[in-house]
Structure 1
Amino acid sequence: MTGPDSAAQPSPRKTPQRKTRPRTAKKTATAVRDQESTPAVSVFEGLGRAPVPLRVVARLGYYPPRHNAGSEWMAHNLLRALVARGHTVEVWLSRYSADREPYEVDGVRIVPYAARLDYGAAAWRADVMVSHHENVPSAGALARGMGRPFVVICHNTAPVIFRNIGRGSTALAVYNSLHMQAEAEAFFCEYTTALRPAASIVVRPPVVAADYATAPGDRVTLVNLNADKGGEVFWQLAERMPHVKFLGVRGAYGQQIERRGGLPNVEVIDQVPGDRMRDEVYARTRVLLTPSAHESWGRVAAEAMASGIPVVAAPTPGLSECLAEAGIFADRADLDAWQSTVERLLDPAVWAEASERALARSKGLDPAADLAAWCEAVEALHRRG
């Protein structure tokens, strides 16, 4: 396990060291305010305008604000960037939701499945088609049959995704991390290099810091209480640490783990749309827990770091890449390690040092370059097609 324990407790005789503590905390708060003052839209405005506007049609299962998961918010921000470039973007959903009529989010038009409109006709009019998750096989077959460039956003290592990206100059794989790209290459090398798409790019899930930056609160928080995300770890820690306030946020998917009667130091709230996470989750959070069994990136970790919130994480390849030197890692099965790490982070000096590392990492994850590369890759794909 690695973590903030490397920050030794100051000697009682060294009073100058004690005086540095409030200055460190003040610097962290100032850095958060600096990030808050940056207009969220500036990242998208800075992308400029495309010389040729395209009609982009995406086939996805779910979409915000009904479904708030990391892969859906990544897809939305990528599509939002294309809108900012002057392209027309439509998302056609393949699963039912409560919506019956098309609606818009940040200029992206979403067509619910229950609207019963003609996805095939929309695909026929598309210049570029996009998909992810379970829709890749069918959307890919349709794109190839119609001769349309096809873009696949790869959030996980499911072989069915890699097999159906497509070949040739009009197929583009978008990997959400370097380790995802490496997993795909290993698949293509092991099975058949003939399946490898001609074009690929790594785009880290875009998190605009100004959308999430706030003054941290006092809770130890887990977002999504299902088993794979660490729901059991959350409740066991809360039981062990009755003097600490915990916040559990129900997730968009998976069976949520809850205790009958709860615990007096635990508050559980319903899933929160992305545009309300700052005020309803991160403004209440002191430490974020991500004891995930699997994580290809870990978007909530990047969101929390925008506020300088330290993240205690299981060392999955995705979380390790996302958090880098800001991460505080503990084996998922070592509950003692999780407890001792959270206890250390209750020390203001230890927390402040971990918070500064989180803010520095957040700045390093600025999405501007990735979004520009994404737009150029999609536009180049169309030119080749």
Structure 2
Amino acid sequence: MSIKAKQVAGVTTLVVAIVAIMSAYHLATLARMSLEETRLRGEMMARAIYHRARAVVPPPGIDLASALRNDGGVRSILESGIGYTPNVTYVAIVDAKGAVIAHPFPTQEGQILPEQEELGPIIERGAISQLRAVYSDKTYEVRQALLAGEEQFGSIRIGISTILIREEFKTALNTALGTVVVALLIATFVAILLSQWMLRPIHVIQSGLTRLGRGELDVTLELPGEEFRDLGSSFEAVSAQLSAVRTKPLPSAATDLESVMENLEDAVALFSPSGEVIFTNTAMKALLAEHSEHPAMRQLIDQTLAGRKSLGPLPITAAAPAGAAEHTRADTPERLLVTHAIEDGSGRFLGAMLVARNLGYLSHVHS
């Protein structure tokens, strides 16, 4: 994956992740607030029924349950409770055994009303429990204990359904998904533009390196911004150094080899297959000038040219001139002769190389 693709993917993923997290938080908050609002409305209704029921005084000979059932105020509150909020499914006063004392529908009175899970503890559990309650088909209850004196006579039970909360939640969820899609498109577009702007210096540097590779001289970079000014200056300095190196003439390999051979302390000479001297360095020129007719030297060269094989090493001591003093003969350096047959890559014989090592000089260096 290219740098541009990674940058676009990174920016887009970051934006989408932020929008998704904020949307999830919004949905969780919406679910909690909707359930909390429904519970508060149920509690308000239960309190209204409770205060009216406390004001009911049964006539002599009539029990409290019959008085509550026949009280106009209680009946009015129960009947209006169904339309008070669309999430309420039933409103009832039940005795301690769960039998219905008063209900908006008289046919339900006297029947056992099954208990449902209370809504309050679900709201206190957390976002996951709240979302699970919204998407469940269960009916929840808001309860209020009903006292007769100091004893619990029964309870007020408000049935709550989460179907309408679920519909509201689905609408908000669709809105959040649309927001994520829009954010994805906008983030992708902005990331592409941002990557073009941020990667432009890299493209400029790549173009400059390509021009240097083609051999162009004095290549300069036009990098935008203060951040890349030092990088551009360094690139121009390197370009100037390369230009100076390219314009400077380089010594040939032959010139370097000849310079090395000329400064050798050992004597070196090259001979053609016919025995003609092709090359001699300074030390060999002095040696041949004084001892060109030395029998061992001449014989070694002739045998190498004839047999085309390397020979040696052969130590020799050049004869001192006639009449020389004894100390002069003692100072005459001893030489070690070696010949090498020279062939090309195909095995064709090209000549011979004679090397005369100055053993006296080596002994002096070692000491």
Q: Same fold (TM over 0.5)?
A: no
After TM superposition, the score normalised by the length of structure 2 is: 0.20
TM-score using structure 1 length: 0.19
Specify the structure having the higher radius of gyration (Cα): 2
